[in-house]
Structure 1
Amino acid sequence: MSIYQFAKSIALLAGQRIREELSQELIIETKSNPNDLVTNMDKATEAFLVSQINEQYPDHRIIGEEGHGQDVTDTEGYLWVIDPIDGTLNFVHQQQNFAISIGIFYNGEKYAGVIYDVMNDKLYHAEAGHGAYLNDQQLPALKDTKLVTSIISMNPNWLTKERTRDMYVPIVQAARSSRSYGSAALDFAYVALGIIDSYITLRLHPWDFSGGLIIAEEVGAVVSNQLGEKLDPLHSNSILVANPGLHQELLNDYLGPYRSRLSEIHQGQFSNR
Structure 2
Amino acid sequence: MNKEKRDMLFNQAKDWVLEAGRNIRHKIKDPLHIDTKSNANDLVTAMDKETEEFFADHIKGKYPDHSILSEEGFGDDLNSLEGVVWIIDPIDGTMNFVHQKKNFAISLAIYEDGIGEIGLIYDVMSDVLYQAKHGEGAYKNDIPLTPLDKDKKFEEVVFGLNHFWLCENRLVGEKYMQQFVKDVRGTRTYGSAALEFAFVAEGVLDGYLSMNLAPWDVAAGMVIVKETGGVTTNIDGNQLSLLDKDSVLTVNPSIQERLLDSYIKVGRK
Whether TM-score is above 0.5 comes out as yes
Shift of 1:22: 1.1
Task: Tell me what 2:149 maps to.
Answer: 143
Residue correspondences, number: 260
Paired letter, 1:50: A
Partner secondary structure for residue 16 of structure 2? helix
Q: Is the 8 A contact 2:87 2:110 kept in 1?
A: yes
Matched, 1:215 2:255: no
| Counterpart in the other structure of 1:195 | 204
- With over 3 angstroms needed to count, the CA separation of the structure-2 counterparts of 1:159 and 1:119, relative to structure 1, is same
Matches within 5 A, 1:29-40: 29-40=35-46
Work out which of the residue numbers 219, 227, 238 in structure 1 matches 2:236.
227
User: 1:242 maps to what in 2?
Assistant: 251
CA distance in 2, matches of 1:119, 1:170: 35
Partner of 1:13: 19
Which consecutive unaligned segments of at least 5 residues does structure 1 have?
261-273
SS at match of 1:158: helix
Mapped partners of 1:237, 1:104: distance in 2: 20
Distance 1:249 1:78, change over 3 A: same
Equivalent in the alignment of 1:88: 94
Any idea what SS the aligned residue of 1:182 has? coil
The amino acid across from 1:85 in the alignment is I
1:50 aligns to 2:59 (yes or no): no
Quote the offset at 1:258 in angstroms. Answer: 2.8
Would the aligned equivalents of 2:148 and 2:230 in 1 still touch at CA under 8 Å? yes
3-state SS of paired residue (1:85): strand
**C-alpha distance after superposition, 1:176-235 (max 9, x if no partner):** 001000000000000000011010110000000000000001000011111000113212
Correspondence for 1:268? none
Which residue is equivalent to 1:269?
none
Q: Is the 8 A contact 1:225 1:238 kept in 2?
A: yes
2:230 is equivalent to residue 182 of structure 1: no
Matches of 1:239 and 1:74, distance apart in 2: 20
Describe the SS at the equivalent of 1:2: helix
Q: Is 162-171 or 149-158 further displaced after alignment?
A: 162-171
Partner of 1:157: 164
Show structure 2 runs of 5+ residues with no match: 1-6
Matched residues in 2 for 1:70 and 1:171: separation? 40
Report the RMSD for the aligned CA atoms in angstroms: 1.3
- Rounded Cα–Cα distance in structure 2 between residues aligned with 1:218 and 1:78: 20
Larger deviation, residues 177-186 vs 151-160: 151-160
Does 2:106 align with 1:100?
yes
Determine the C-alpha separation between the residues in 2 that align with 1:131 and 1:47: 30
Please say if residues 232 and 249 of structure 2, whose CA atoms lie closer than 8 Å, have aligned partners that are also in contact: yes
* In structure 2, C-alpha distance between the alignment counterparts of 1:230 and 1:61, rounded to whole Å: 22
Question: What secondary structure does 2:52 align onto?
Answer: helix
- Opposite residue 218 of structure 2, the aligned amino acid is F
Task: Spell out the pairing of 1:258-269 with structure 2 (5 A cutoff).
Answer: 258-260=267-269
Structure 2 residue 132 is the aligned partner of structure 1 residue 126: yes
